[in-house]
Amino acid sequence: MKKKAIIFIAIIAIMASIATVAFGRTIEEERQAVRDYLNAVDAKLATAKQANNTARIDLLHAEKAATLARWNKLQIEKEKEKPAQPQIVIIQAPSPEVSYTGHATNEVGRGVALYVNGGVDAGLIGYAANLDYDLSGLPARGLKLRVGANYISGTNPRGGDSMQAACAKLGAVYYITPFMPDFGMSLSWYVGGAGLYPVKVNAGRSGQSGQWGVEAYLGTNLSIPEFGLVNVELGYSGLKYTAAQPALKGLDAKIGYGLTF
């Protein structure tokens, strides 16, 4: 199946070449179009590598190779356009490796991601900071360790008390991008969960027995070149922040910003 896909991509590249000639593009216009397309492929490769989508990475590499072949052909055609200079013998050194002007893709060091987001947490106002560390070297590809902190503020509808709580968290996320739609955008999807521990409640109550919390969520990252990631999470969480009040429970809905390193 992979070989068929690569052959199909090569055929598409050849057909695109024929169509270009038919519609009368100049060589310089076609060179610019190829540069732009290579930039788009690089952006897609970055997203696929972040999501550890091996099948998509292979297809994108094949697509890039076919496009670079088109670039080489355009280089030859451009050389042919130069006026002939008889009686002059020119000895040329081997052509350098084909290059193009575009956005460099950082394909190394994508093992750490930092997110900050805010919105609704357990039904109240909440904010979060998360640091994800890539564990894809383990047998479970797409797995990341998550450490971070949550801050929740509001009135507990079950207990009626006004509360503010800062919690430490430890959990994991698992990327499920191959099983989710991309809607024509550079989206990566994950599911995750974490345990919460209240370290400060209201005026400083912390360390009480019976304090606990959990959260589970579905998240997605939209990759925007030269900007970063737009992060969205939807889920559910519960927090027992003091023994004197019922546990806080409710829906989570947050949006924020992320960076990969």
**45 and 169 share one domain:** no
Is residue 95 included in any domain, yes or no?
Answer: no
Range of the domain at 9: 2-81
Is 88 contained in some domain? Answer: no
Q: Looking at the structure, do residues 170 and 119 belong to the same domain, yes or no?
A: yes
- The answer to whether residues 141 and 228 belong to one domain is yes
Asked whether residue 178 falls in the same domain as residue 225, the answer is yes
- For 41-53, how does the pLDDT look when each residue is reduced to its tens digit (9 = 90+)? 777 777 777 777 7
Distance CA 120, CA 85 (A): 72
Residue 97 lies in a domain: no
Count of structural domains within the chain? 2
Alpha-carbon span 117 to 200, nearest angstrom: 20
Residue 165 burial (10 A CB sphere; 0-12, 13-18, 19+): buried
Residues 19 and 74 in one domain: yes
Give the torsion sign (CA, 25, 26, 29, 30). Answer: positive
Considering the domain architecture, whether residues 125 and 202 belong to the same structural domain is answered as: yes
CB 123 within 8 A of CB 248: yes
Note the pLDDT tens digit of each residue in 209-246: 678 999 999 999 999 988 899 999 999 999 998 888 89
The partner residues of 114 in beta bridges, in order of sequence, read 131, 259
Q: What is the pLDDT of residue 32?
A: 77
Domain assignment present for 169? yes
* pLDDT of 14 higher than 70: no
Tokens at 122, concatenated: 């357990």
Q: For the chain, what is the mean pLDDT?
A: 79
State whether 77 and 120 are in the same domain: no
- Answer yes or no: do 77 and 116 share one domain: no
Cα gap 157→162, rounded to integer Å: 9
What confidence tier does 40 reach under pLDDT thresholds 50, 70, 90? confident
Residue 216, classified by CB atoms within 10 Å of its CB into exposed (0-12), middle (13-18) or buried (19+), is: middle
Specify if 149 maps to a domain: yes
Q: Calculate mean pLDDT across residues 196-211.
A: 78
